Amino acid sequence: MTDPTLLTDTPVAPADTALVRGACPHDCPDTCGTLVEVVDGRAVGFRGDPDHPITDGWLCGKVRPYLEHVYHPDRLTTPLRRVGPKGAGQFAPISWDEAIGEIGDRWRGIIAEYGAEAILPYSYSGTLGLVQMAVSNGRFWNRLGASQLERAICGDAAQYAVERTLGARWAVPYADTAHSQAIFIWGHNPASTAPHFMPYLKDAQRRGCVVVVIDPKRTRTARTADWHVAPRPGTDGALALGLAHVIVNEGLHDEAWLAAHTVGWPELRARIADFPPQRVAAICGLPVEDVVRLARLYATHTPSLIKIADGLQRNPMGGQTTRAICALPALIGQYGMRGGGLAYSTSGYLQWDGAAINKWAECPPPGRVVNMNRLGAALLGEVSDPPIMSLYVFASNPAAIAPNAGLVAQGLMRDDLFTVVHELFLTDTADYADIVLPATSNLEQTDLHKAYGHTLLRYNHPAIPPLGQSLSNWDVMRRLAAEMGFAEPWLRQDAEAVIDEVLTATAARSPFLRDVTLARLKTEGQVALQIGPEAPFADGRFPTPSGQVELYSARLAAEGHDPLPNYSGVWDDGEPLPEREPEGNREQPSRRWRAVQGDEPLDLITPAAHHFVTSSFGNGRSQLRGEGAATVEIHPADAAARGIAHGDLVVVENGRGAVTLRAVVTDGVRPGVVAAAKGRWSKHGDGRGAPRNVNWTTSDALGDFAGQSTFHSNRVWLRKERD
Ligand SMILES: Nc1nc2c(c(=O)[nH]1)N[C@H]1C(S)=C(S)[C@@H](COP(=O)(O)OP(=O)(O)OC[C@H]3O[C@@H](n4cnc5c(=O)[nH]c(N)nc54)[C@H](O)[C@@H]3O)O[C@H]1N2
Ligand SMILES: Nc1nc2c(c(=O)[nH]1)N[C@H]1C(S)=C(S)[C@@H](COP(=O)(O)OP(=O)(O)OC[C@H]3O[C@@H](n4cnc5c(=O)[nH]c(N)nc54)[C@H](O)[C@@H]3O)O[C@H]1N2
Ligand code: SF4
Ligand SMILES: [Mo]
């Protein structure tokens, strides 16, 4: 039996009437400061904090209707046990004691027969908090000896590439765009995915700064740019090397800077000789004049800033592509300059103390690693010895968001798989659960948030008591720990004690946390990391092994990668793209398809939806209204070749699966490319009412670095749906 008052980090008695500070927990670089107006224990108002410098008093359209999310009629309020067939989503309420007891019984049986590695926790970005994400991903599972999840679904290749090249993920603050003369937004759509960057961008543009967007799709951001360049998806590595070629050819590079601050310039110089503009233009599907003009524009504006995010690198060469892009600011000496260089992520400034988060020293050796992008295959036997016998999902919705969704569904249907899903809603994934546990929303839990778009920390005070019997991730971890007989004090602490411990341990080694205390965080709203006013790398030193920008990376060479930025058109092991498809994952559709004359494959990209955060808010009334029907954008020439008219239902298919979407015929995508936003819930039905979304077609092949997902490298065939 567990004592609920002992094991809850949320207030038992409702706050009466208050204005409560919080942080937006969603996967977004802006990490907004929020204010919750509470009357008689109920949240009645929700808005952006005017005192938060990035938020500036406004929230994006995804999160503005947050109270609809918190008080959604479909919120889960009790634990549930499956009563119907697997996957049917039929459940009956049970008590927490029954739920935790049953999980414990099943796990003890599985551990006795297969060992703890047969249990796989699967979580990702439902919340980005220190307690509810980082610590909840670590401690309990490490103590249990469960399998480790390789968290490579989002931006690992870029992260790896930036760290291998520059040594750290440090980035120019949004406000430094006040100094930029040119801003290149490359494979990134901040108007949707980093909305609080946009006012800075508009200000810069008003001042005369040139804004270029490089994206196969004319996104909301591209529409505001001075110039939109639309290369073929996955060819940006070639484009970057081609820009370097032109810059060097025309003598616009900075030899002195390269000599002083880089390793491998002679080698890179030899490499870029292979990328003359004519060749690059052909690879990228761009006019050769555009490649030359882009290079000149970049090299003749100082400071010039390149801003990237993660969409750019969700392809088989995402890592090398990011390396090639990282080389450009070095080529023209932009690193260390205010308003110049590279803006990728600020998350490297502060990394929470790993020992305090994970407690490895007091745990059994880490379990084997399972790549989250290979979930379907892993459940179906790719991972064996031991096989995965139990899956515990929290803060993620893999049935909707993981690639090759048909295979994921097949894996989740396994009768002998014991699946637990901790959620706010009966998502696509929860429908496959044996036990569903109700989760608190961000208004009902304690946490501390750091950001990846800026350097402000913000404490999230719980504003209202948990809805129904819902519990936070960490509260459930503590109950599971008690059930499994783990007596370690670090599995019993409340959320605030966890924050205090991790903060203290991190502050002991990070100068950026000087004077940052839990007390300040709780009372001051946001607290800034002590980075100082200088631009990143202003001292000309890079935290790489050589202390310089590693254009040539000995570490990558040692790891078996090409040590120079490259665009090879082949996988790391030499196979041509996109031939290397894992077994059971062929792209070729049926013969029926190939028989259709003129039916060439198209490249399907699946960018962020404007009104959802991946699948979060995919069940929100306001957000669904904003987003409209599930569509696929197709160029008029490609539509005409297939007899597809604007508004038609079209089948988007490949060998992995199919989804029916409404056609939007538009020159907003380049010929050969189709685009359908990520984030729809399959259970809401596609255009034909089939329980599928676009991930039924996406590939679970892994990219060049760090086990990266490759969502945007996906060949599909389109045809008009018969009426
Ligand atoms: N509104 C909204 N905001 C979000 C999210 C969301 O779902 N919705 N998701 C959050 C998450 S999880 C993340 S990781 C970030 C991602 O933030 P972004 O990286 O900005 O978002 P994406 O839409 O994934 O990708 C950006 C752009 O890359 C383009 N693209 C795709 N392939 C290529 C390519 O090969 N080359 C080039 N040049 N462009 C390419 C797409 O068309 C898209 O417009 O956003 C976060 N914010
Ligand atoms: N086709 C395609 N698919 C993609 C991508 C793409 O580009 N194309 N992008 C990928 C990327 S970048 C990412 S990051 C992933 C994101 O995929 P996920 O990490 O799965 O993110 P969400 O879809 O937002 O789902 C989060 C779930 O967590 C739940 N949740 C929220 N807060 C909590 C909490 O405190 N506790 C618990 N227990 N649950 C909570 C929410 O209700 C929601 O169902 O999607 C990937 N999927
Ligand atoms: S999703 Fe991003 S922009 Fe929207 S409220 Fe959250 S942090 Fe702010
Ligand atoms: Mo992501």
**Poorest-pLDDT segment among 14-18, 244-248, 379-383:** 14-18
Ligand approaching nearest to the C-alpha of 126 = 2
Query: Phi and psi dihedrals of 318, rounded to 5?
Result: -60, -35
Q: Is 522 domain-assigned?
A: yes
Among 60, 192, 198, 610, which is best to mutate for testing ligand 3, by the most ligand atoms less than 8 A from CB? 60
- Same-domain status, 339 and 374: no
- Looking at the CA of residue 24, tell me the nearest atom of ligand 3: 6
Q: Is 168 domain-assigned?
A: yes
Q: Is 353 domain-assigned?
A: no
The set of protein residues with a Cβ atom below 6 angstroms from ligand 1 is 27-28, 62, 125, 154-155, 186-189, 192-193, 214-217, 219, 231, 233-234, 236, 309-312, 315, 605, 607-610, 612-614, 678-679, 712
Q: Is 313 domain-assigned?
A: yes
Q: What percent of the chain has pLDDT over 90?
A: 91
Q: What percent of the chain has pLDDT over 70?
A: 93
Ligand 1 centre distance from Cα of residue 309 (Å) = 7
* Residue 60, domain CATH: 3.30.200.210
Per DSSP, which regions of 108-181 are E strands? 119-123, 148-150
- Looking at the CA of residue 712, tell me the nearest atom of ligand 1: 32
- Same-domain status, 142 and 212: no
Please name the helix (run of DSSP H) or strand (run of DSSP E) that holds residue 719, with its range, or none.
strand 715-720
- Same-domain status, 165 and 312: yes
- 299-303: Cβ within 8 A, 24+ apart: 299/247, 299/250, 299/252, 299/253, 299/331, 299/332, 300/252, 301/181, 301/182, 301/210, 302/181, 302/332, 302/334, 302/337, 302/340, 303/179, 303/180, 303/181, 303/334, 303/337, 303/338, 303/339, 303/340, 303/341
- 553-562: Cβ within 8 A, 24+ apart: 553/164, 553/165, 553/264, 553/323, 555/164, 556/164, 561/319, 561/320, 561/704, 561/705, 562/320
Ligand approaching nearest to the C-alpha of 27 = 1
- Looking at the CA of residue 709, tell me the nearest atom of ligand 2: 10
Q: Note the pLDDT of residue 655.
A: 86
Q: Note the pLDDT of residue 574.
A: 62
- Looking at the CA of residue 28, tell me the nearest atom of ligand 3: 2
Query: Domain boundary at 513, 539, 558, which?
Result: 558
Q: Note the pLDDT of residue 469.
A: 98
- Same-domain status, 48 and 144: no
The set of protein residues with a Cβ atom below 6 angstroms from ligand 3 is 24, 26, 28, 30-32, 59-60, 62-63, 195-196, 613
Greatest alpha-carbon span in the chain: 74
Rounded distance between C-alpha atoms, residue 267 and residue 380, angstroms: 44
Ligand 4 centre distance from Cα of residue 619 (Å) = 19
Ligand 4 centre distance from Cα of residue 187 (Å) = 14
- Same-domain status, 706 and 595: yes
Protein residue closest via CA to atom 45 of ligand 2: 401
Ligand 1 centre distance from Cα of residue 312 (Å) = 7
**Amino acid making up residue 247:** I
Q: Is 457 domain-assigned?
A: no
Range of the domain at 102: 80-153+369-450+466-528
Among 62, 125, 412, 698, which is best to mutate for testing ligand 2, by the most ligand atoms less than 8 A from CB? 125
* Residue 675, domain CATH: 2.40.40.20
- Looking at the CA of residue 231, tell me the nearest atom of ligand 1: 38
Rounded distance between C-alpha atoms, residue 684 and residue 612, angstroms: 15
The set of protein residues with a Cβ atom below 6 angstroms from ligand 2 is 27, 124-127, 132, 153-154, 310, 314, 394-397, 401, 422-425, 427, 439, 473, 606, 613-616, 678, 694-695, 698, 711
**Digit-coded pLDDT (tens) for 331-368:** 999 999 999 999 999 999 999 999 999 999 999 999 99
Q: Note the pLDDT of residue 13.
A: 45
Rounded distance between C-alpha atoms, residue 606 and residue 219, angstroms: 12
Ligand 1 centre distance from Cα of residue 260 (Å) = 35
Residue 254: pLDDT over 60: yes
Q: Note the pLDDT of residue 722.
A: 81
- Same-domain status, 54 and 145: no
Protein residue closest via CA to atom 8 of ligand 3: 32
- Same-domain status, 163 and 189: yes
When the pLDDT of each residue in the chain is averaged and rounded to a whole number, the result is 94
Protein residue closest via CA to atom 6 of ligand 3: 24
**pTM for this prediction:** 0.96
Q: Note the pLDDT of residue 583.
A: 43
Secondary structure of residue 283 in the 3-state scheme: helix
- Same-domain status, 496 and 629: no
Kindly state the average pLDDT of the residues 162-169.
98
Question: Do 613 and 28 touch, CB atoms closer than 8 A?
Answer: yes
- Looking at the CA of residue 612, tell me the nearest atom of ligand 2: 24
Rounded distance between C-alpha atoms, residue 79 and residue 94, angstroms: 6
**Digit-coded pLDDT (tens) for 617-656:** 999 999 999 999 999 999 999 999 999 999 999 999 988 9
Secondary structure of residue 18 in the 3-state scheme: strand
Rounded distance between C-alpha atoms, residue 509 and residue 501, angstroms: 13
- Same-domain status, 186 and 259: yes
- Same-domain status, 395 and 268: no
Ligand 4 centre distance from Cα of residue 641 (Å) = 34
Q: Note the pLDDT of residue 65.
A: 98
Cis before 489? omega within 30: no
Neighbours of ion ligand 4 (CB under 5 A): 154
Q: What is the 3-state secondary structure (H, E, C) of 532-558?
A: CCCCCCCCCCCCCCCCCEECCCHHHHH
Ligand 1 centre distance from Cα of residue 193 (Å) = 7
Ligand 4 centre distance from Cα of residue 316 (Å) = 17
Q: Is 402 domain-assigned?
A: yes
Ligand 1 centre distance from Cα of residue 608 (Å) = 5
Q: Note the pLDDT of residue 591.
A: 52
Residue 266: pLDDT over 60: yes
* Residue 167, domain CATH: 3.40.228.10
Q: Is 102 domain-assigned?
A: yes
Protein residue closest via CA to atom 4 of ligand 3: 60
Helix axes 318-331, 236-249, angle to 10 degrees: 20
Counting the structural domains of the chain, the total is 4
**Digit-coded pLDDT (tens) for 464-510:** 999 999 999 999 999 999 999 999 999 999 999 999 999 999 999 99
* Residue 106, domain CATH: 3.40.50.740
- Looking at the CA of residue 616, tell me the nearest atom of ligand 1: 7
Among 74, 80, 124, which is best to mutate for testing ligand 2, by the most ligand atoms less than 8 A from CB? 124
- Same-domain status, 147 and 179: no
- Same-domain status, 209 and 304: yes
**Digit-coded pLDDT (tens) for 380-391:** 999 999 999 999
**Digit-coded pLDDT (tens) for 566-620:** 998 765 556 666 555 544 445 555 555 555 534 688 999 999 999 999 999 999 9
Residue 515: pLDDT over 60: yes
Q: Is 456 domain-assigned?
A: no
